[in-house]
């Protein structure tokens, strides 16, 4: 287990460059177990890039990423997931040809013990494993109110439910840190309220730490304890929602510099 003081996730001076374009410059981030951190910034600030280096989609050009003190920099995405980090995507990436319950079941593949032969033989290990997975999948879907939809094709779900299913699928990998990439995008106000409740429930029930990328200030300010602001690939500010809201640099980044103030 984590010794007190070791952060759950630590990114140290991470940079990501594509040729001459710097997507991220010297970004450091620290998330403690069970924390809910919001990551905000204007379009193109590098929020998704930061997600991608944390989850192994890209390898940072410079810097180091530690998960519970262990270096995970540049590991393959599936390895990072197995170490306890799961994510959702900005544009929904469900497995379109699979039904809702199968989408959740895929998250258990990494933990399967029985080999291929066991699957083909339909042996004892296979049957007990399938049974466990089925039960746990059902429990998760029921907890998030998706049990009615279990056998529907994932594509046929309403938009908000698709987002929810993506979160359930990520949670099924039993992460200690869940990264949500714009979960409220495209949601109507009712769905957004529901999402806020959902995030609160995840923390209560599963104790999962959450890093949340979100454009919707109402959602972010309402639920996050701490905010990290990115602008043009660099850290601009960090602090409580109140502090960030009052920070002149943040206001400038979002609304533009205020000129002509020296008139007097």
Q: Which residues bind other proteins (CB under 8 A)?
A: 55, 57, 76-78, 81-82, 86-87, 89, 93-98, 102, 105-112, 114, 116, 119-120, 122, 126, 129-130, 133, 151, 169-170, 173
d(CA 147, CA 28): 40
At its nearest, how many Å lie between other proteins and the CB of residue 130?
Answer: 6
The residue (of 126 and 144) whose beta carbon lies closer to other proteins is: 126
Q: Which two three-digit tokens encode residue 218?
A: 């109402």
Determine contact, residues 238/229, Cβ cutoff 8 Å. yes
At its nearest, how many Å lie between other proteins and the CB of residue 104?
Answer: 10
At its nearest, how many Å lie between other proteins and the CB of residue 20?
Answer: 26
Element housing 127 (H / E): helix 124-143
The residue (of 95 and 206) whose beta carbon lies closer to other proteins is: 95
Bridge partners, 66 (sequence order):
10, 71
The residue (of 87 and 164) whose beta carbon lies closer to other proteins is: 87
Q: Which residue is associated with the tokens 């319950």? A: 101
d(CA 64, CA 71): 7
The residue (of 103 and 238) whose beta carbon lies closer to other proteins is: 103
At its nearest, how many Å lie between other proteins and the CB of residue 177?
Answer: 13
d(CA 57, CA 185): 21
């Amino acid at each position: 287990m984590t010794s007190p003081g070791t952060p759950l996730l630590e990114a140290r001076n991470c940079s990501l460059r594509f040729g001459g374009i710097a997507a991220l410059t010297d970004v450091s981030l620290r998330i403690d177990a069970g924390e809910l951190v919001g990551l905000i910034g204007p379009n193109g600030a590098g929020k998704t890039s930061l997600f991608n280096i944390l989850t192994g989609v890209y390898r940072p050009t410079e810097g180091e990423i530690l998960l519970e003190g262990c270096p995970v920099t540049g590991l393959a995405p599936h390895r990072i997931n197995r170490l306890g980090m799961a994510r959702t995507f900005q544009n929904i990436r469900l497995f379109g040809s699979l039904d809702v319950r199968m989408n959740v079941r895929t998250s258990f593949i990494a933990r399967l013990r029985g080999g291929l032969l066991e699957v083909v033989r339909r042996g004892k290990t296979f049957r007990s494993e399938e049974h466990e997975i089925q039960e746990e999948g059902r429990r998760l879907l029921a907890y998030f109110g998706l049990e009615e939809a279990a056998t529907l094709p994932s594509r046929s779900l309403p938009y908000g439910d698709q987002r929810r299913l993506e979160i359930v699928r990520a949670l099924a990998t039993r992460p200690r840190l869940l990264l949500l990439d714009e979960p409220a995008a495209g949601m109507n106000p009712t769905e957004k309220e529901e999402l806020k409740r959902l995030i609160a429930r995840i923390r209560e029930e599963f104790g999962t730490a959450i890093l949340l990328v979100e454009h919707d200030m109402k959602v972010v300010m309402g639920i996050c304890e701490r905010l990290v602001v990115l602008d043009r690939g660099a850290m601009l500010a960090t602090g409580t929602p109140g502090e960030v809201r009052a920070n002149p640099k943040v206001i400038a980044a979002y609304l533009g510099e205020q000129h002509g103030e020296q008139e007097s």
